[in-house]
Amino acid sequence: MTENAWGYRETSGRLQGVDLSGFKVEAVDGGIGKVDRHSDEAGSAYLVVDTGPWIFGKEVLLPAGTVSRIDVDEEKIYVDRTKEQIKNAPEFHREKHLGDAGYHGELADYYRSGGAFGGRPL
């Protein structure tokens, strides 16, 4: 767990310089899509995940603190949330929310509380 929703956990296996674009993203109960974009900016690290047909082609923004493990060899990122928790997160619109501090705060609060179903908080 991490107090900072926007930072990778030391135990996640995040290696500097590794491009995560195209990595598959796995929730605790199955795949949710692939990384379309990511940021490693200190205090503001995140993944933008293209969900494909799972949520009708929408994208979701996942704070780096949701990442439990990265497997570089398999090109997979594991997050410690369920598909339902991710689906119920505040809706993400790339052009509106990427640099929006208010949205980032709302999203961090959602995931810190464990999401809509009281899962593990960040």
Q: Say how far apart CA 3 and CA 58 lie, in whole Å.
A: 28
- Confidence label for 30 from pLDDT (cuts 50, 70 and 90): very high
Give a yes or no: residue 36 inside a domain.
Answer: yes
In a domain, 48, yes or no: yes
Strands 67-71 and 59-63, sheet pairing: unpaired
In a domain? residue 55: yes
Residues 49-86 pLDDT 10s: 999 887 777 899 999 999 999 999 999 999 999 999 99
Q: What is the pLDDT of residues 90-116, one digit of tens each?
A: 989 988 988 888 999 999 999 888 654
Q: Which two tokens stand for residue 115?
A: 């999401």
**27 falls within a domain:** yes
Print the domain residue range for 52. 10-112
* pLDDT attached to residue 117: 42
Give me the CATH number covering residue 83.
2.30.30.240
Cα separation, 36 vs 25, in Å, equals 10
Residue 122 lies in a domain: no
Apex CA 88: angle with CA 83 and CA 94, to 5°?
100
The yes-or-no verdict on residue 25 having pLDDT over 50 is yes
How far apart are alpha carbons 63 and 107 in whole angstroms?
8
Residue 79: what pLDDT? 96
Q: How many domains does the chain have?
A: 1
Task: Give pTM, 2 decimals.
Answer: 0.88
